[in-house]
Amino acid sequence: MPGSLDKLRTTLRMIKFEHTLFALPFAFLGAMLAAEGLPPWDKILWITVAMVGARSAAMTFNRLIDRDIDAENPRTASRELPSGKLGVGFAWAFFGVSVALFLLAAYLLNWLTFALSPIVLVSILGYSYAKRFTALAHLMLGWALAISPTAAWIAVRGTLDSGMPILLSLVVLMWTAGFDVLYACQDFEFDRKAGLRSIPARYGIKNSLWIARLFHFQAFAALVLLFLVTGLGWPALVGVAAVGMLLIYQHTLLKPNDLSRMNAAFFTTNAFVSVILLLTFGAAVFLH
């Protein structure tokens, strides 16, 4: 039993399970907007299972595809696969179970979510190859996470009959692309040497920080538009303001010659954005 628990903990570290917090609240918010309140409990359950399965599959696949690159990068050489803490065969098995879990949840939600599930899989798995071909990989990661609120809307309603979830997905897309550009600044030199494509590798750190700010400004603009379209009340406005201030704060933490506060900018700050929007817009939905 202790050995099994250690393996479970190692697996959860490999997929950075705690980062599910970034995307899951957006899916819940999409579901709440669709239901105009609290969705049925079975919808909440299977949306959660689908999100966990999809993200676990995507992260495991990324670690498998990148394990040789990770082994050469000093920052990532200690990850679970290149360091040998987990076996490749076990990771592929875990990937298969995660995909099966996602497909089962999609099937149990409704026919449209199941019909669209292959598009989701192609999107979330294809990102792992993107940085080998294009500096737009950050936007492809944004697209992979942005699927969640619109997918949750479809899971609740069985159709896409409003622009609201698309606006929320646009917020997620640009927000994710922005923080991924920031995170990629850490690997600026390695990516150039390894021939990997990223915005920092192509444009340098100083320009990349400005590009990330532009992406986050676009995310904030989409969030303001979402607030106006939904017609929700003051709690949602508080959420818009809080996220705006949080994004500004995030960019004050990083300088072209000083990325030492990356963990605070990336992990701590980002964890609050989705939760703030879920709480404030969710409260506004109930009050509305």
pLDDT above 90 coverage of the chain, percent: 66
DSSP H helices, 131-204, are 137-157, 164-184, 188-194, 199-203
Domain ranges for the chain, please list them.
2-287
Which pLDDT score, from 0 to 100, does residue 3 have? 59
Integer CA distances (angstroms), 74 to 78, 111, 190, 198, 260, in order: 8, 45, 9, 18, 16
> In this structure, what token pair is assigned to residue 126?
């294809």
For the segment 169-209, what is each residue's pLDDT rounded down to a tens digit? 999 999 999 999 998 998 888 888 888 889 999 999 999 99
Nearest to 93 by CA among 21, 23, 14: 14
Which pLDDT score, from 0 to 100, does residue 2 have? 47
Provide the whole-model pTM: 0.91
CA 96 to chain centroid, in Å, comes to 20
Integer CA distances (angstroms), 180 to 60, 199, 263, in order: 18, 10, 12
Which pLDDT score, from 0 to 100, does residue 1 have? 47
The CATH number corresponding to 2-287 among 1.10.357.140, 3.90.1150.10, 1.20.120.160, 1.10.3720.10 equals: 1.10.357.140
Mean pLDDT by 10 residues, the chain (288 residues): 68 76 88 95 96 93 90 87 89 94 97 96 92 91 94 96 95 94 89 88 93 96 96 94 94 86 76 91 90
CA distance 274 to 272: 6
Which pLDDT score, from 0 to 100, does residue 191 have? 86
First to last CA, the chain: 49
SS3 (DSSP) at 254:
coil
User: H helices then E strands: how many in the chain?
Assistant: 14, 0
